[in-house]
Structure 1
């Protein structure tokens, strides 16, 4: 059976028995693990590199790390627009993912060649005499960082969406597999982070940053080659053109028709994409909100996309407007979350990091919440979800929005704990133990997982005309 709106790598209609499913998802699981072996430890250890090797101040190191993370998210928005509008998600990853490999390669080269970085010195003991990275070396550093962020953003946004495309949400069996995919996708992120926080942090701190960053570049290249090998099995969603243009058309036409009377049945314009004729459509009862946009469907003699819109465009615009509160609330909640991660590494550098005779790197502390998450995800997917599914009726056990709400609460808790711990650290007579930070990173990591990695479940695009409504009346794109 062929699925409408999806094609294979050659542009032909796909077949369920050949394309998609768990077999295609396995290639994406491998890329998820490999990329997070690299991304998570370097994101958490970047403050240490910038401060200890590039001799930036503590504040400048934290700011650069935060800007790096913000740039990654900004590039992810560009990637989402391109992959949904013009090129498929698989091609987007193959075209722009190599920038991440090149970025880590440049960072490794700079860490290897003494002429490309400041002279070595102990910045804690010789604070005023250490040379801060500047000039051409600083340009090379920022170029490498933002090339890495560019590639990371494009891979990050396309990977979960491409994985969700491999399962038909209208097929009950594949719908359960899609929900399970997001659980195991998150498991792959945690497992990759667990391995990276042990292996990569150890290499960077004890064997040299050049070796650690070089291994990262090789791993990224390996992951891209593996995901490219699965191209015969992927289901690729056909791009529908720029959604921003369609939304703008609806808003402009509705504004022009604001003084016209809206009848119960709306006259729908001819759809240029399908060639269907003009007709009348009844607006479904659950979509009675934002009725002023329905005026964009009023046909008053003029044809054209900027004069009259069909009901599909209007409903798409309503869907986007309905999810804006989630978008803005996620932005507000995530501000403190990013600060908690950089603050934790800074705090850890000023605490007692000894565990007996073992020296624990501050970035390695995040193994605690990742280990907890690995265990909980396996238990959750295999036992808790089937139990909740029978009682709630949701394929995923509970609604995605409920999980995101738990994530928001965890972020708030993490910020409160961070403030309390920092106050105690400043007042302590002797160095406090690094492990006092564990209660901070646990809710912070939990909140990040629930908000970031459950958002695709809410916002997963179903195509131009396909959308569903959950039990709370929230339209899922």
Structure 2
């Protein structure tokens, strides 16, 4: 932040002479050194410490079946990415991003403490019911706590860049890359060190370590409260959207003027979006009523307010196309781990925990982000002439393609495993994780940038929450698909596609099913993007 203040005092001529040296330093400082990313690092370390190996915890400690464990993990992860809607609402309406992160970080710490205590004391008791209640209480407190962090942390970081400055505008594009890079460092530590600790030393120690780090992250975040740029709250985004819906329906019988930019419509708000011709029905919310005494927020909306709703509607098809992608990535915390449990996990003298295979995903992200930012973006910039190289939709589309390829490979590996006489090496899973890591660099980062940039100014936290909601929807979709497939295929004495003993099932059929859905989803995404 000190760098920002000093940089702003430099003359315009001097600024442009060394601006391209300054902005990479600023991006790295913002993403790694400042307190807010430190809190996000702690949150990611805790989240992945639980999610990476949760399916193993449920099957070995709570004795859940493969279908129940995979479904429960996807449901829990989905909830972790659903609660950001609540966090975004509170941030944009009442508390602001900083206070929202502070409150939800505290809830998160309590949830991690509950999870640690349940793993430390209750397994030795004879009351399995209390143990199960304590486990799920801790897990869903964590899910609630993560809501205020995931919806606000990247938005608070992006707020530190001034869009009016061309150098800072380019730097903000790199911020999302390096932001994703920094949180994957926490994921790497979880998938390697903490997963090993959980499997070899104990679950209580494996949960206690990230709990302590969460407390440290909370303290660091509080200490950095005076160094941020803060943006004013604009009122409840939900209220503004509902006002447009209500007024448009109330005025449904009124006729729109031929020129919707005439004085027949209410005035624009200063600095807000200009009128567009798409979704013209909602323009009726901005028609000035004949009786001036009836004018009010639930009787008349500004054109800018109507355009905010239109922005959300335009993003809806892109949001829907992300559900299948995140249903595919959900396999890394569910069926891929269950598949790894029945594979040969010996690599030389080491026994690799199935959950540790996600290391390949994380390393892939850590390698791909700097390569993308330093090599691919400059090359693409020369071809496209765009500051960011590829458009956000192009980035998302590349990731969707890679996810479809991954499921084709995963299905082929499972088919070979079922036919192999000796146990197949777990290292055959490595390409699945690695390619999905590259896919995340394109789709997940492109999604964060897209929803932040395309959201109305008063709904930046909400835009980030919508991106997180796509992850939630994908995990809920995976949970529903697993349960539906298991129910539909396990009848008449047949084990079904996903039985407890995978050697008797056909997990490969489920992977082929996801590959087909991914290919169809890619075609729909291309169609929506062109429109």
Post-superposition offset of 1:234: 0.9
Q: Give SS of 2:327's match.
A: helix
* 1:209/1:464 CA distance change after superposition, 3 Å: closer
Deviations along 1:62-86, one digit per CA (max 9) or x if unpaired, are 2221121011011122212221222
Deviations 1:14-40 (A, max 9, x none): 99959x965555323323333333322
Cα distance, 1:395–1:224 mapped onto 2, change above 3 Å:
farther
Give, in whole Å, the separation in 2 of the partners of 1:38 and 1:233: 25
2:471 equivalent in structure 1: none
Map of 1:375 onto structure 2: 367
Aligned with residue 298 of structure 1, among 267, 273, 287: 287
The corresponding residue for 2:424 is 432
Counterpart of 2:66? 58
Shift of the alpha carbon at 1:189? Answer: 2.2
Q: Check if 1:219 corresponds to 2:213.
A: yes
Give the structure with the higher percent strand.
Answer: 1
Q: Could you tell me which residue of structure 1 aligns to residue 123 of structure 2?
A: 117
**Larger RCO, structures 1/2 (Cα 8 Å, 6+ apart):** 2
The structure 2 residue matched to 1:203, chosen from 194, 197, 214, is: 197
Deviations 1:235-289 (A, max 9, x none): 1222212222222222222233333332211434478x98x9xxxx9965xx221
Q: Could you say what secondary structure the match of 1:236 adopts?
A: coil
CA RMSD of aligned residues (A): 2.9
* C-alpha contact 2:332 2:358 (8 A) present in aligned 1: no
Question: Counterpart in 1 of 2:135?
Answer: 141
Residue pair 1:84, 1:240 contacting (<8 A) in 2 also: yes
**TM-score when normalising by structure 1:** 0.83
2:163 matched residue in structure 1: 169
Q: Deviations over 1:172-195 (max 9, x none)?
A: 111112111111111112222222
1:230-241 equivalences under 5 Å are 230-241=224-235
Residue 184 (structure 1) aligned with residue 178 (structure 2): yes
Scaled by the length of structure 2, what TM-score is found? 0.75
**Are residues 415 and 200 of structure 1, via their aligned partners in 2, closer, same or farther at CA, if it must alter by over 3 Å?**
same
**Which structure 2 residue ranges, 5 or more long, are not aligned?**
10-22, 461-525
User: In the alignment, which residue of structure 2 is the partner of 1:44?
Assistant: 52
Alignment partner of 2:113 out of 78, 87, 105: 105
User: How many Å apart are 1:432 and its aligned residue?
Assistant: 0.2
CA contact (8 A) 1:340 1:418 kept: no
2:100 is aligned to: 92
- When you count helix as a share of all residues, which structure comes out higher? 2
Q: Quick one: structure 1 residues 371 and 336, their matched pair in 2 at CA, closer, same or farther if it must change by over 3 Å?
A: closer
Offset at 1:298?
A: 1.3
- Contact preservation (8 Å) 1:34, 1:219: yes
Deviation at 1:56, TM superposition (A): 2.4
Tell me how far apart the structure 1 counterparts of residues 329 and 379 of structure 2 sit (CA, whole Å): 31
Q: How many residue pairs end up in the alignment?
A: 433
Unaligned runs of 5+ in 1: 1-13, 120-130, 467-471
Q: Does the 8 Å contact 1:165/1:237 carry over to 2? A: yes
